[in-house]
Amino acid sequence: MKHFTTVNHIDDLDSLLLLVKQIKSDPYSYKELGTNKTIGLLFFNPSLRTRLSTQKAAVNLGMNCITLNLNNEGWSLEFEDGAVMDGNKAEHIKEAAQVVSQYCDIIAIRSFPTLTDKEKDEAEHVIHSFLQYATVPVISLEGASEHPLQAVADILTIQEYKTKQKPKVVLTWAPHPKALPHAVPNSFIKMMQKSNVDFVITHPKGYELNPDITKNSTILYDQDEAFQNADFIYAKNWSNYNDYGKITSQDPSWMVTTEKMALTNNAKFMHCLPVRRNQIVSDAVLDGDNSIVIPQANNRTYATQAILTKILQDEDH
């Protein structure tokens, strides 16, 4: 594996998941792999799980970890080719990416979408600029349109908790007071399409995600119907994709409640976190026995550690 900025970068999901499970059972088994290797974590946006679990994963591998908040600790970056830099941007991504590549063996970046410029977001403007100019492997800590490390933790969690060969997994939209990115649902959908699951997406009409991503998946506009016989309910809000970045529904009837969960096959409840209580999901569901959001978050460490392991191993060759 060279880079990891999209679920598409996974060649062989089964072997990756074997590695994740092996690492989870013995987290320090590759502790020599990272000796004298440095990972640079560059944040344009807030992060709790990703920030901490990536540091943990790197240290478990014996790596040195440098974090940088690009908005206030570094220089503001220019991303446009040919820019006349007479404004507030002090450094061009061309130099920044090449320079950081000399100090770090892996560069990891968190960069949320604008939610106003669809084309730029879909082009993964920031992450792709790093991919273009960096001379070392690049990892997404959540980009504008994907959050692939989350998706690896998600499928691991589903494999750990499933009670049948091919479980039914439902991704359901749920209401939220702010306009949220499409990165998590996009990567989750891609991951489900690679997995042996019966996968259904449900959301209000008009909240269709990028059809290039969803095209192979069943979409239902009736949440109750979608929940029938589900083994896993994965809740997530996203803003409107067609009316890009807008909130066109906050319909509270889409909140995941005990009543909704009663329609399922005793389904486990999943969410990437952070989650808005009593907006996305009721307290009763989130605090209930079927909620697996905490072990799901724990799997972030091992998912990331496996990706780092793959990259370091492939660098050595």
Known binding positions: 47-50, 75, 110, 142, 147-150, 176, 236, 272-273, 276, 300
| Shortest distance in whole angstroms from residue 211 CB to a copy of itself | 29
Q: CA-to-CA distance for 14 and 171, rounded, in angstroms?
A: 22
Q: Which is nearer to a copy of itself, 87 or 316 (CB)?
A: 87
**Strands 91-92, 198-202: pairing kind:** unpaired
Whose Cβ is closer to a copy of itself: residue 72's or residue 163's?
72
| 148 close to 141: Cβ distance less than 8 angstroms | no
Instruction: Give the footprint of a copy of itself on this chain (CB under 8 A).
Output: 27-28, 36, 38, 40, 43, 46-49, 51-53, 55-56, 59-60, 64, 66, 68-69, 72-75, 78, 82-87, 90-92, 94-96, 98-100, 102-104, 177, 273-279, 283, 286-287, 293-294, 297-298, 301
Q: Which of 63, 139, 137, 58 has its CA nearest to residue 305?
A: 58
Q: Contact, 175 vs 240, CB < 8 A?
A: no
Nearest-approach distance from CB 311 to a copy of itself, in angstroms: 19
Task: Write down the least CB distance from residue 268 to a copy of itself, Å.
Answer: 16
Output 61 or 213, the one with its CB closest to a copy of itself. Answer: 61
Q: Are 229 and 265 in contact (CB under 8 A)?
A: yes
What's the closest the beta carbon of residue 205 comes to a copy of itself, in angstroms? 23
- For residue 102, the minimal CB distance to a copy of itself (Å) is 4
List the binding residues for N(2)-succinyl-L-ornithine. 142, 176, 236, 276
Q: How far is the CB of 312 from a copy of itself (least distance, A)?
A: 17
Smallest gap from residue 86 Cβ to a copy of itself (A): 5
